[in-house]
Chain A
């Protein structure tokens, strides 16, 4: 089975994000970038399938600027076999990303696609579901457990009330939630070895996809700051304040 994993390069989750003074976007110059954490979980899951001999090839795809090579290399060092970089200077909306991924799926014919449930920059939580819709494949979103055989995959999903388990006919799209696995650390020899693995570069124009944005970003603002509060010394004081000052307890 071939697995395709889509990975996005985003501002590292530990970095504090600042809005640009002209309110057009957030500051990305000289900011640490990494693989979207959910996508790291997706790569890890693919590798575990390969280690269990349920998969024989893992292809990782990233769509974005030249520097996306770094996240592809990270995935290759984790254990993926080869990478595809679809180069574009533009920020793309989920529907367009899904259409590019569909074109790649048509070339590569994977049986399983693993993606993150959400990119932590735009927080859209859309692309996997859109890709599944475009392909008319089943979707297992927000997965916390996945088990696969030759014809189907069983997915346990994190939903608002608890957990839901579905069986999906292959081929299928799965999006990962935080509890699916804990991604491995990458060893130095693996980093060295990953340098020899192939990354294919393609320009986004090679795909027959309309890239014109359907969404215009008019402004990006910082959120309102909460005014800072006070420290209380005792439990009695706390309860008193909650009752009489804030009036949230009766």
Chain B
């Protein structure tokens, strides 16, 4: 049995989400190879050779893979899976792998299981459905298993420097792409930790009332070395960028501390944060559903509470 892990990267560095998938891959007790697809991404390939538990690093570099678009990356992966007889393909459930892996699965004519939160046996998995209102245990009857895993359910593998480094196998398969064409990326610039790996997250909702006010959260976050999140309503209203959204259809997070400010606690929001270790809710409506899952609730006006919180934390 052989597992193929898909490296997520930006041609410069390996993203930490890949380390969560590595932890999940290890539960299969099979040999694990990682594939790095990109262009001028030698640094990523080097990083990948250092990961503990990796047998081989498959490196597929051509200019056509620069933006890792699924139109040519999916047939490349499908081809490799067939040729090298991989029986498991996995990645962490991010927008990158959600875009890519279903296409791979279709080309291989197999099922894909998204957002796996537990691996019970090599063919039996648990995944949340209905915004986490139910957990389904499913058995995959296909010979090739393709999974995306929830980063919150599998801790990141430690970045230890494996020695000797895993060997690199160059893949010389050039799939061209005349279907899609990259124009640009506009990435949110931030010096704060990433939402999916932060220990503390401060999230704001419609209660913040404006983009201007939303900045109040940012100065608090900086004080606590926290990441900033948002509800859908806050993103829709333009208070925060789209990649801040936490929830059923946004990011799923489970930090040590999640502070929800001016967020009512709709089920779609809870789906993205209810596995946080400690949840704090600040809301002026004592009946807000967020209080039902909060460990510590503070009822009151956030515009009074936020400055007070900053003062107390500065002491």
A residues bordering B, Cβ < 8 Å?
A: 11, 13, 16-19, 26, 38, 93-95, 98, 117-118, 120-134, 136-142, 144, 154, 157-169, 172, 177-179, 213-223, 226, 228-236, 238-239, 241-242, 246, 248-249
Count contacts on B: residues with CB < 8 A to the other chain.
Answer: 86
Are B138's CB and A216's CB within 8 A? yes
On whether A164 and B130 interact (CB within 8 A), knowing A132-B103, A235-B298, A235-B309, the answer reads: no
On whether A95 and B106 interact (CB within 8 A), knowing A216-B141, A249-B257, the answer reads: yes
> Is B42 an interface residue, CB under 8 A from the partner?
no
> Is B200 an interface residue, CB under 8 A from the partner?
yes
- A-B interface contact total, Cβ < 8 Å: 253
Q: Is the contact region of chain A dominated by helix, strand, or loop, or is it mixed?
A: mixed
Are B243's CB and A220's CB within 8 A? no
On whether A133 and B135 interact (CB within 8 A), knowing A162-B243, A167-B181, the answer reads: no
Are B134's CB and A238's CB within 8 A? no
Report the separation of the CA atoms of residues A213 and B140 in the bound assembly, to the nearest whole angstrom: 9
Provide the B271-304 mask, 1 if CB < 8 A to any CB of A, else 0. 0001001111000000000011111111100000
Are B280's CB and A242's CB within 8 A? yes
B residues bordering A, Cβ < 8 Å?
A: 69-71, 74, 94-96, 98-107, 109-115, 124, 128-142, 178-188, 196, 200, 224, 232, 235-236, 241-243, 248-249, 251, 256-257, 267-268, 274, 277-280, 291-299, 305, 308-309, 312-313
A177 to chain B, nearest CB (A): 8
Q: Is the contact region of chain B dominated by helix, strand, or loop, or is it mixed?
A: mixed
Given contacts A26-B129, A223-B134, A248-B200, 16 further A-B contacts (CB under 8 A): A17-B131, A95-B111, A123-B130, A129-B106, A144-B242, A159-B243, A164-B185, A166-B181, A220-B137, A221-B135, A221-B137, A231-B291, A233-B298, A235-B312, A246-B295, A246-B296
Are B280's CB and A162's CB within 8 A? no
Report the separation of the CA atoms of residues A127 and B98 in the bound assembly, to the nearest whole angstrom: 11
Q: Which of A168, A172, A178, A214 contacts B236 (CB 8 A)?
A: A178
Are A16's CB and B242's CB within 8 A? no
B249 to chain A, nearest CB (A): 6
Residue of A nearest to B133 (CB): A17
